A and B are shown apart, each in its own frame.
Chain A
Amino acid sequence: MRPGDRQAGRRPGLPNRAYRSLLVATAAIFVAVVGWYVLSIVVQARPAFSALGVSWIFQKVWDPTHNRFGLLPFILGTLETTAIAMVLAVPIGLGSALALAHLVPDRLKVPLSTMVELLAAVPSVVYGLWGLIVIAPVFRSTVEPFLSTVFGWTGLFNGPADGVGLLLAGVILFVMVLPTMVAISRDVLAVVPLEQVEGAMALGATRWQVLRKVVIPGARTGILGGFTLAIGRALGETVAVALIIGNSPYIAHSITSPAATLASLIVNNFGEATGTELSALFGAALVLMVIGVVVNAAARWLVPASALSSAVPVAVG
């Protein structure tokens, strides 16, 4: 950089200092926009906090006509759908990532991995449409009656068999986050040093022992980061969930009951909301934003930057 500073007038291009300032300025614009984003939501949510106190977030009743705007049902709905999705996605995602990284024959690896990455790009509203029109009727006619006769004694599946509800939302979220999770886990599982794998094999370890004792421990933080990113995506998913969760502002008493999440609450009530209700919706957005930032910061902290590249659609290789 230093040598370029002399004889500045004669050579083509911006002077180094001006060029550098230009780059810094664009970064500053980005940071300023992010700051604007955070601040504007905080400011718009403030009336709700001053009108209702801080505890309103954890109150149980959402009833705009009586000026009650408790967010607890929606926070629970958000956590429950995400939990259902992750209970399914963690074992199945890990298993298929292992298969994709180490079991699939070499000539299938690239096509299958590319397919998974392409599927991660399918817009979420398409999953919502599919869940509502194709899967919800199957849930209504087959899956939910079956669950309530077989597992009815647990009390978990006693809700109305409408098809739509927490369970359907959780299952569709599971399908949605799966490609993201498999793509990241596959990347971190595939980079385990070959020497370690060969060493374990030479010691007489079976295929599964190699996977469990060598491959998985080496990739543990990366896998965890992938799961965390998937959790973030499931928590914040809006349109797919809004279509299939049934949108009921009460705390669900069973897994098959209709419910609502923070995001679906915002989408469904935004059009008609005014005054304190509108501010309460901004408050819901604030809660969602805080959750999103915390979860993604955790994921960023866990996943090596290189592995993130396939999660977030970023150029690879």
Chain B
Amino acid sequence: MASALAFDAPSDPMLERRRLIHEAARSSLRRRALTSRVAVGVCWLCLGIAIVPLVAVVAYVVAKGLPAWSADFFTHVTAPEGIPGGGVWNAIVGTAEIGLISTAVTVPLGLSCGLFLAQSEGKVAAAVRFTADVMTGVPSITIGIFGYIAIVKNFGYSGLAGAFSIGIVMLPVVIRAGETAFRSVPPSLQEAALALGARNAVIARRVVVPTALPGVITGVFLAVARGLGETAPLLLTIFGNQYMQWNPTKPMDALPLVIFNNSSQPYADLVQIAWGAALLLLAVVLMLNIAGRVAAAVLRREKR
């Protein structure tokens, strides 16, 4: 058999071609394997280069921020200039209030808009979707400028102006997260409800929203986390306030603002406050991220 094949081989152009390819592949194998090994090594190196600074940021914030955490740090307001100590209680209250107000407004509005996008095809919906996508990436300082023009110019600096700006940062994120989650609901479920004679509003409340809830929760938590970390919109809207202020119609302080203002101060204790505030903000943002994912996972498991 083998001899017959060998005898036929030179005359068969297909086999000849196969032999040539085989030889080319084999003779270049050493070179290709070497290239491959080097290139794959470079990719690993890139991953290393990427991870080191990112881990370093978190590690530094933890290492420098923890010493700043004391009972005073959480319970006292900003100390007057020149007096050591003091805390960020006023900024914590400001961030919490601004976060709550903007969440309370943007989540219902954004989710309902997301529901609209998930249940609509056509040019209008596509245009709204495109607008939301572009708005998620627009420089947040321009949204701060908008907050200044729309609110501050008319009513003065206030926590509400900050919440307005932060809400505009969050809104498109909530919309797109909502749409993604609502779209993942199987059409068959909705059709079954429709066949039972349910109205669309009832289908939305009883079928679409409960089914999409895990995705919605993750999305909302991520949006809130993003909103709380935004600094630029607050810089132009809430003014900052070193005293305690519960009233959101007055100038307030917020954690990102404390970090920004204190970090360029020449005094070590002010910089330390900045590190402490950075650790607190980082912890809150990461917790929200993780909590959103965990809550979604738990809900999904319960459903099965």
A residues at B contact (CB < 8 Å)? 1, 3-4, 11-16, 18-20, 22-24, 26-27, 29-31, 33-34, 36-37, 40-41, 44, 91-96, 98-100, 103-104, 114-119, 121-130, 132-134, 175, 178-179, 182, 204, 206-209, 211-212, 229, 232-233, 235-239, 242-243, 263, 266-267, 270, 281-282, 285, 288-289, 291-293, 295-297, 299-300, 308-309, 312-317
* B5-34 CB contacts (< 8 Å) to partner A: 25, 32-33
Shortest distance from the beta carbon of B99 to any chain A beta carbon, whole Å: 13
Are B229 and A121 closer than 8 Å at their CB atoms?
A: yes
- Known contacts A125-B278, A126-B281, A211-B39; 16 additional CB pairs below 8 A are A19-B200, A19-B204, A41-B142, A95-B43, A103-B44, A121-B222, A125-B281, A126-B61, A129-B274, A236-B138, A239-B231, A242-B260, A282-B149, A299-B137, A300-B130, A314-B219
**Which of B66-74, B76-84, B85-93, B109-117 makes up part of the contact surface?**
B109-117
Give the residues in chain A near B205, CB-CB below 8 Å: 13
Q: When A40-B149, A129-B259, A238-B231 are in contact, do A98 and B43 touch as well, CB less than 8 Å?
A: yes
Which of B56, B139, B214, B216 has the most chain A CB atoms closer than 10 A to its own CB? Answer: B139
Chain B residue with Cβ nearest A286: B142
Identify which of B57, B128, B138, B263 contacts A27 (C-beta below 8 A): B128
B189 at the interface (CB under 8 A from A): no
B-side residues, CB < 8 A to A, are 25, 32-33, 35-37, 39-40, 42-47, 49-51, 53-54, 56-58, 60-61, 64, 109-110, 112-113, 115-117, 119, 125, 128, 130-143, 145-146, 148-150, 168, 171-173, 175-177, 180-181, 194, 197-202, 204-205, 214-216, 218-219, 222-223, 225-226, 228-232, 235-236, 256, 259-260, 263-264, 271, 274-275, 278, 281-282, 285-286, 289-290, 293, 296
B53 and A175 within 8 A (CB):
yes
- Given A37-B146, A209-B36, A308-B133, also A13-B199 (CB < 8 A): yes
A132→B264 contact, CB < 8 A: yes
Is the pair B141, A266 in contact by a Cβ cutoff of 8 Å? yes
Asked whether A206 and B168 contact (CB < 8 A) given A122-B58, A123-B229, A133-B263, the answer is no
> What's the least CB distance linking B148 to chain A, in Å?
8
Q: Are A282 and B145 in contact (CB under 8 A)?
A: yes
Collect the chain B residues with CB atoms within 8 Å of residue A92's CB: 46, 49-50
Tell whether, in the assembled complex, residue A99 and residue B286 are in contact, meaning their CB atoms are under 8 Å apart: no
Chain B residues within an 8 Å CB radius of A312: 133, 136-137, 173, 176
Contact B194 A3 (CB under 8 A): yes
Specify the chain B residue showing the minimal Cβ separation from A182: B50
Q: How far is the CB of B288 from chain A (nearest CB, A)?
A: 8
Q: When A209-B36, A229-B137 are in contact, do A314 and B176 touch as well, CB less than 8 Å?
A: yes
- Which residues of chain B come closer than 8 Å to A29, judged between CB atoms? 109, 113
In the bound complex, residues from chain B placing their C-beta under 8 Å from that of A270 are 148, 235-236
Q: Give the CA-CA distance A27 to B137 in the complex, in Å.
A: 19
Q: List 14 A-B contacts (CB under 8 A).
A: A4-B194, A96-B46, A96-B47, A98-B46, A118-B289, A122-B285, A129-B278, A212-B39, A238-B232, A266-B141, A266-B145, A282-B149, A288-B141, A315-B215
Q: CB distance A178 to B176 under 8 Å?
A: no
A90 to B81, CA, bound (A): 45
Question: Which chain B residue shows the least CB distance to A203?
Answer: B25
Interface of A is mostly: helix
Docked pose: A267 CA to B218 CA in angstroms: 32
CB-based nearest A residue for B275: A129
Given A23-B112, A315-B177, A315-B180, decide whether A292 and B138 contact each other with a Cβ distance below 8 A: yes
CB atoms of B113 and A41 under 8 A apart: no
B92 to chain A, nearest CB (A): 15
Is the Cβ of B32 less than 8 Å from the Cβ of A206?
yes
| B residues less than 8 Å from A91 (CB atoms) | 46
**Which A-B residue pairs are the 6 nearest by beta carbons?**
A236-B139, A95-B46, A123-B229, A313-B222, A208-B36, A206-B36
Please state if B36 and A125 are interface contacts (CB–CB under 8 Å): no
Are B141 and A297 in contact, CB atoms less than 8 angstroms apart? no
Chain B neighbourhood of A121, CB < 8 A: 222, 225-226, 229, 285-286, 289
